[in-house]
Amino acid sequence: MINAYTYNTLVLIKELCNGCRMCYYVCPHGVFKLNGKVIDIIKKEDCMECGACQLNCPTKAITVDSGVGCATAMFVASLKRKKEPACS
């Protein structure tokens, strides 16, 4: 199995972050934390690359290649009726 963290595509450009916290609010795995007036990635290994943070970032400070990570593996496993996704 592939370790999702090794291939994680989540990127934060701190210079573009305005501290709105939208990524923090929409992330289902608590990957982000407010650090002063900007966001930090504190648990990159927990990112399932669903893309919610990127879609909700008004300044485009976050990019993630959704459709390649754990979220996709979970959907594919479900469609193929497998018990566990190959993302851990």
Give 18-40 pLDDT, tens digit per residue: 999 999 999 999 999 999 889 99
Structure confidence by residue, pLDDT tens digits, 36-60 = 889 999 998 888 888 899 999 999 9
Residue 45 forms part of a structural domain: yes
Q: Which of 45, 23, 50 is nearest to 34 (CA)?
A: 23
Beta bridge partners of 11: 63
Is residue 64 classed exposed, middle or buried when 0-12, 13-18 and 19+ CB atoms within 10 A define those classes? buried
Average pLDDT (70-81) is 66
- Type of residue at 31: V
Q: Total domain count for the chain?
A: 1
CATH number for 40: 3.30.70.20
Residue 24 forms part of a structural domain: yes
Residue 82 forms part of a structural domain: no
Residue 76 forms part of a structural domain: no
Residue 75 forms part of a structural domain: no
Yes or no: say if 5 and 14 are a contact pair by the CB < 8 Å rule. Answer: no
Q: Which domain holds residue 48?
A: 10-64
Rounded Cα–Cα distance for residues 75 and 80 (Å): 9
pLDDT for position 50: 86
